Amino acid sequence: MNDIYRKRLDTLQDTLSRNGFDACLIMQEENRRYLSGFTGEDNSVDESAGALLIGPKGLILATDSRFELHAIHEAPLFDVHVYKTGLDKDLPELLDRVGASRVAFEETRVSVGRFNAFAAALKKSGSTAELVAHEDMTAPMRAIKSADEIQTMREALAIAEAAFSAVKANLTPGLTEKAIAWEMEKEMRSRGADGLSFPTIVASGPNAALPHAVPGDRKVAPGEPLLIDWGSRYNGYCSDSTRTVVLGSPCDTFKRVFDTLFEAQARAIDAICDGASGKTVDAVARGFIEQTFPDGFGHGLGHGVGLEIHEAPRLSYLKDHTLKAGMVVTVEPGIYLPEWGGIRLENMVLVTENGAEVLNTLDYRDHIVAI
């Protein structure tokens, strides 16, 4: 495993050099894990499990006493430094140890308050090191998955799909959205998931018109859409899928919406290949949907999945990312009709040199639950 992390660190240091930096400060949980193997989890934005300092003279993993043995065991390439009163107090000394002068930090992870504390500590110490906000320079690296990462994601997806099949077999009218979400979580954990990729979305009837609905006490009724968006996390990696089913016979609206989305998704997947534009892939699905439901599809078509549930690249009308072989993305068109409900179909897709491979195995056509 050390060879994997050495290669990632070499790539990052090359990127730093090309961008005029000689060091970086890594505080985002997923980036720490990707570059070091350290799996310590942040409890909140203002409570960190630690930071990596990567510079020309060394590698340091700074953390507190709760994670000391954890860090020593999991990140052997890094010198572990345990701070006693917070990272900001020790930061000037640590930056000096790694030979840092111009230091990139993740602009989306370091809060204004934390940055001010860092800056004050550097000023007080007389350090000449400069902290410079930068986009996440690990994102392009993490976007392209290795064979091992792809295999881990296949296993996460297998756990999630087996859980869905078990829950679907026991769906009956009268179950609440909350109850179904709880069954999904239990089934995923019982099959070996570390946890959930995100809180499971279960939305029935009109609630399914809310793309990120929160499961409530509403009871599922026959004939209406029942949207379930879920994922399992396995060895740190996420899965993400959505299926929309109906208990009993679907109405004509359900059939028309479902068929439209099925075709839109198929067209988008056919457009995915190495070198394709994410914006163009989004437009393929969006253009088809808008012919019949001009205002039904509001969100982006998909996103990258990996250590984070939402990461680079994006399939979106807002951003244009170039797809490359080895990326794993979701393709999730949806149509949402107020008062009636909504349907979303979501698969995970691996970008290959010759096209795309759908990683999911559950068949969309099996969406009617007999009652």
221 and 129 assigned to the same domain: no
Report the domain count for the chain. Answer: 2
Compute mean pLDDT per 10 residues along the chain, 371 residues long, and list them.
Answer: 92 95 96 97 85 97 96 97 94 97 94 94 95 91 97 98 97 97 98 98 98 97 97 98 96 96 98 98 98 94 98 95 98 97 98 96 82 72
Residue 220 and residue 177 in contact, taking contact as beta carbons nearer than 8 Å: yes
For the chain, give the longest Cα–Cα distance. Answer: 73
Q: How far apart are CA 357 and CA 217, in angstroms?
A: 38
Q: What is the model's pLDDT at position 329?
A: 98
126 and 148 assigned to the same domain: no
164 and 133 assigned to the same domain: no
19 and 93 assigned to the same domain: yes
Q: What is the model's pLDDT at position 364?
A: 79
201 and 286 assigned to the same domain: yes
Domain end call among 100, 122, 140: 140
CB atoms under 10 Å from CB of 44, counted, come to 6
Please give the residue range of the domain that contains residue 250: 144-369
Q: How far apart are CA 220 and CA 362, in angstroms?
A: 22
84 and 171 assigned to the same domain: no
Q: How far apart are CA 350 and CA 329, in angstroms?
A: 7
CATH number at residue 85: 3.40.350.10
Helix, strand, coil in percent for the chain, rounding step 5: 40, 25, 35
Q: How far apart are CA 132 and CA 25, in angstroms?
A: 10
Q: How far apart are CA 4 and CA 30, in angstroms?
A: 16
Amino acid code (one letter) for 310: H
171 and 263 assigned to the same domain: yes
126 and 177 assigned to the same domain: no
Domain end call among 93, 124, 140: 140
Of 269, 263, 275, nearest to 320 by C-alpha is: 275
Strand, coil or helix: what is 261?
helix
120 and 158 assigned to the same domain: no
Q: How far apart are CA 325 and CA 144, in angstroms?
A: 7
Pairing type for strands 328-331 and 341-344 reads: unpaired
CATH number at residue 187: 3.90.230.10
Q: What is the model's pLDDT at position 10?
A: 96
